[in-house]
Copies of this chain bind each other. A is one copy, B any other.
Amino acid sequence: MKKESKAKRSIVSMALQVLKQVEKKEPPSLEIPLRTVDNIIFDEKKGHYVLGPKKAIRTSRNVKHLKPLTQLVWVASLARKLIDEDKTSTLRDVFYMAEGVELGFEDQSESDRIITELESVIGSPREDFKIYPEERSAIFADLTIEYTVKGYEGRRINLTSHPDGLMIGPALATSKFVKTSADKVLCIEKGAMFTRFVEEKAWKKYNAILIHTAGQAPRATRRLIRRLNTELDLPVYIFTDADPWGLHIAQVIISGSANAAHVPELATPKARWMGVYASDIEEYKLPSTRLLDVDIKRLNELKKDKRYTKDPWRKEIDKFFEIKKKAEQEAFSKYGLSYMVDVYLKKRLA
């Protein structure tokens, strides 16, 4: 609840600022951090993207600013209402709610942009004002949590309770960590592999919290990973497919995305990508397919990205170019269903 209170305080203080201006008969205006390319900076020391110092003034003196300024204030008031009423919402919902008040949002990309603007003005991710993504990933772990959502306050559950894994939705994302026997976090791209890790008791063998990212990890999941890393001080290891998309799934968990430079709470700079590597395709003779043109194009883009200049990234990107092949996590099934956990994972974590 603390994070929601911080978001609410910032919204109220933003509203008071506008109110004061109105009372003084000044045309209301707000300072908004710029999210243009030249103000999105990769902070080498922090290991993730941050916004630079540039700001824009949005003022009702300028007739062109009037609409976006009004929209921003409306979204802020909606955000406060969502916090007060403890109701979860989505980007899509907000667009439709805006339809009800005729605020002139052209399409959803416009309301999405205003929500992002509110995030950067108040310095809180939108999950703190109850706007959640639709996608859900999952977690399985000997970790006891305590819910903070309405109707469940104080109730506890151990995350081994459901063998299919527990969905990381708004309730789990906002829960408190009570107790765990785990000493590491394993993030896994594919659902099939996650199920395998649960069934093969990888969580027990390696004292690990298992997280299924379901492809690109949703924001709420990235934030949970960061919390496990910072609040519980657990190292985080990421396993993906051996292809350029897998690399980037790992990288976004580690260093965030440029798009979300204004919400650093989503990055886990200390997390490490642990495979499947391009070099594993050779070493383990994994079933593989040829890289497509679109994969090559993506690898060339990654090569230019400064986050990929260190090893293992650089070495593995070069290996991809050399062997021109990619492989999925499930390719290890060639050696039977237990091999990934009993042999590969053991070796990689050693």
- Contact at A164–B166, with CB atoms within 8 Å? yes
A336 proximal to B (CB < 8 A)? yes
A318 proximal to B (CB < 8 A)? no
A93 — nearest CB in chain B belongs to which residue? B333
Determine, out of A66-74, A144-152, A262-270, A307-315, the stretch whose residues face the partner at the interface: A144-152
**Per-position 1/0 for A142-168, Cβ under 8 A of B:** 000001011110000100011111111
A190 proximal to B (CB < 8 A)? yes
- Contact at B149–A97, with CB atoms within 8 Å? no
A249 CB to closest chain B CB (Å) equals: 16
A106 CB to closest chain B CB (Å) equals: 13
Q: Most chain-B CB neighbours within 10 Å: which of A136, A147, A332?
A: A136
Number of copies: 2
- Contact at A136–B138, with CB atoms within 8 Å? yes
Among the listed B89, B94, B171, which residue makes an inter-chain contact with A163, where contact means beta carbons less than 8 Å apart?
B171
In the bound complex, how far is the Cα of B132 from the Cα of A112, in angstroms?
36
- Contact at B89–A337, with CB atoms within 8 Å? yes
Contacts of A165 in B (CB 8 A): 167, 169
Interface residues on A, range: 35 or more
- Contact at B169–A166, with CB atoms within 8 Å? no
A173 CB to closest chain B CB (Å) equals: 8
A100 proximal to B (CB < 8 A)? yes
In the bound complex, how far is the Cα of B18 from the Cα of A68, in angstroms?
73
In the bound complex, how far is the Cα of B152 from the Cα of A332, in angstroms?
27
**Per-position 1/0 for A314-339, Cβ under 8 A of B:** 00000000000000101111111100
Given contacts A136-B164, A150-B199, A166-B167, 12 further A-B contacts (CB under 8 A): A86-B199, A87-B337, A92-B330, A93-B330, A93-B333, A96-B332, A96-B334, A99-B334, A161-B162, A164-B169, A164-B172, A165-B169
**Using a CB–CB distance below 8 Å, which chain A residues touch chain B?**
86-90, 92-94, 96-97, 99-100, 132, 134-136, 138, 147, 149-152, 157, 161-172, 190-192, 195-196, 199, 201, 287, 328, 330-337
